[in-house]
């Protein structure tokens, strides 16, 4: 038994069955070492396309490639024994057609060993989600603030602020659920919207910047740990501040190398 209370590998059925139950704990990881650290504590590990920003120093997720997602997805899966690993489909790899989405999602599944994929979009992606799930690919939806739409939205701005926007998020979440997604990420919206969406759809909502009214929460792990540098989603609570600890350790190493104190002379301890 692990900290999350689940001893067997967590499947999408396990996650789907947690609707309205114990909150789902989800985090991102981009490599095997971090995945190993998260695995005993979380239900779901997302290999998020946020890696474009956090690992590759890009200003948005738009430049992330399928190959990058596969390399990092495989590493995370190797470091995971029980959490459900889901890999983001990057921008441009699924929006063209259900067939394009299937081809790329199947490659991600085959080459990483992950359990399923996440894609952004509501009503406009319902046909694609149905196409994938009918063909053996579990899908985690993503509605509300969709980072791959940054240029259409004019920035990373909260969604659902007026009645029309709130209704649009609800319709999107319903469409994603009806299409067969096992859960849906709800990003960047108000508690009122998150509460209504959570009450009205039969699958778990996983919130990020969407209040505690959701069935679970996800954060970007680097941000939670204080390792995201100047970048901020604007949503995260920092649970640790590891940046200064890293700098301190590196400075100590640099000092010892420069003073010829490291490595110790043979025979010294
Ligand atoms: O890319 C990502 O890390 C994400 C989560 C923040 C939901 O999509």
Q: Using the structure block, give the residue that is written with the tokens 């997604």.
A: 181
For residue 198, tell me if it sits in a domain: yes
Give me ligand 1 centre to Cα 28, in Å. Answer: 7
Per-residue pLDDT band at 54 (split at 50, 70, 90): very high
Say how many domains are in the chain.
Answer: 1
Cα–Cα distance measured from residue 139 to residue 182, given in angstroms and rounded to the nearest whole number: 6
Per-residue pLDDT band at 4 (split at 50, 70, 90): low
Looking at residue 267, what is its pLDDT?
76
For residue 261, tell me if it sits in a domain: no
Per-residue pLDDT band at 223 (split at 50, 70, 90): very high
Give me ligand 1 centre to Cα 261, in Å. Answer: 43
Per-residue pLDDT band at 206 (split at 50, 70, 90): very high
The string of pLDDT tens digits covering residues 135-157 is 999 999 999 999 999 999 988 98
For residue 5, tell me if it sits in a domain: no
| Residue with CA nearest ligand 1 atom 3 | 48
On whether the CB atoms of residues 98 and 125 are closer than 8 A, the answer is: no
Looking at residue 22, what is its pLDDT?
98
What are φ and ψ of residue 223, in 5° steps?
A: -75, -45
- Show Cβ contacts of residue 169 under 8 Å, excluding neighbours closer than 6 positions: 122, 143, 144, 159, 160, 186, 189, 193, 197
Looking at residue 2, what is its pLDDT?
60
Length of the chain: 269
Looking at residue 192, what is its pLDDT?
97
Q: Is pLDDT above 60 for 186?
A: yes
For residue 167, tell me if it sits in a domain: yes
User: Which position has the higher pLDDT, 8 or 38?
Assistant: 38
For residue 66, tell me if it sits in a domain: yes
The tokens describing 33, both together, are: 């070492």
Range of the domain at 101: 12-241
Looking at residue 1, what is its pLDDT?
53
SS3 content of the chain, % helix, strand, coil (to 5): 40, 15, 45
- Identify the weakest region by mean pLDDT among 1-5, 105-109, 122-126, 135-139: 1-5
Q: Is pLDDT above 60 for 269?
A: no
Catalytic residues: 187
Q: Is pLDDT above 60 for 11?
A: yes
Per-residue pLDDT band at 234 (split at 50, 70, 90): confident
For residue 254, tell me if it sits in a domain: no
For residue 84, tell me if it sits in a domain: yes
Q: Is pLDDT above 60 for 37?
A: yes
Distances (CA, A) of 251 to 200, 245, 255: 53, 10, 6
- Kindly state if the Cβ of 223 falls inside 6 Å of ligand 1: no
- The residue to mutate among 46, 141, 204, 228, having the most atoms of ligand 1 within 8 angstroms of its beta carbon, is 46
Handedness of CA 254, 79, 210, 140 (dihedral sign): positive
The tokens describing 65, both together, are: 């490639």
- The residue to mutate among 146, 181, 187, 210, having the most atoms of ligand 1 within 8 angstroms of its beta carbon, is 187
The tokens describing 153, both together, are: 């939205």
For residue 248, tell me if it sits in a domain: no
Q: Is pLDDT above 70 for 5?
A: no
Q: Is pLDDT above 70 for 266?
A: yes
Cα–Cα distance measured from residue 125 to residue 72, given in angstroms and rounded to the nearest whole number: 25
pTM for the whole thing? 0.96
Mean pLDDT of the 89-116 span: 98
- Kindly state if the Cβ of 49 falls inside 6 Å of ligand 1: yes
- The residue to mutate among 49, 183, 188, 209, having the most atoms of ligand 1 within 8 angstroms of its beta carbon, is 49
| Residue with CA nearest ligand 1 atom 1 | 48
Mean pLDDT of the 24-28 span: 98
The tokens describing 251, both together, are: 């400075």
What average pLDDT does the structure give for the chain? 96
Distances (CA, A) of 15 to 1, 9, 43, 154: 17, 11, 8, 33
Handedness of CA 195, 197, 202, 204 (dihedral sign): negative
Looking at residue 6, what is its pLDDT?
59
| Residue with CA nearest ligand 1 atom 2 | 48
Cα–Cα distance measured from residue 29 to residue 63, given in angstroms and rounded to the nearest whole number: 18
Per-residue pLDDT band at 235 (split at 50, 70, 90): confident
Supply the CATH number for residue 210's domain: 3.20.20.60
């Amino acid at each position: 038994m692990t900290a999350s209370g689940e001893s067997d590998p967590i499947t999408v059925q396990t996650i789907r069955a947690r609707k309205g139950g114990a909150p789902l704990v989800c985090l991102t990881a981009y490599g095997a070492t971090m995945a190993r650290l998260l695995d005993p504590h979380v239900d779901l590990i997302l290999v998020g396309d946020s890696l474009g920003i956090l690992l590759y120093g890009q200003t948005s997720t738009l430049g992330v490639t399928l190959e990058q997602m596969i390399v990092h997805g495989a590493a995370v899966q190797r470091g995971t024994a029980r959490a459900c690993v889901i890999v983001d489909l990057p921008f441009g790899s699924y929006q063209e057609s259900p067939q394009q989405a299937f081809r790329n999602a199947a490659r991600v599944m085959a080459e990483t060993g992950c359990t399923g994929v996440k894609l952004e979009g509501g009503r406009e992606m319902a046909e694609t989600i149905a196409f994938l799930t009918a063909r053996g690919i579990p899908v985690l939806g993503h509605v509300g603030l969709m980072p791959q739409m940054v240029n259409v939205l004019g920035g990373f701005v909260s969604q659902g602020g007026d009645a029309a926007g709130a209704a649009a998020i609800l319709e999107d979440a319903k469409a994603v659920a009806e299409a067969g997604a096992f859960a849906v990420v709800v990003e960047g919206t108000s508690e009122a919207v998150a509460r209504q969406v959570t009450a009205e759809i039969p699958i778990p909502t996983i919130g990020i910047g969407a209040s505690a009214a959701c069935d679970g929460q996800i954060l970007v792990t680097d941000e939670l740990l204080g390792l995201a540098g100047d970048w901020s989603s604007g949503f995260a609570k920092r649970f640790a501040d590891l940046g200064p600890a890293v700098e301190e350790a590196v400075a100590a190493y640099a000092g010892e190398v420069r003073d010829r104190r490291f490595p110790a002379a043979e025979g010294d301890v």
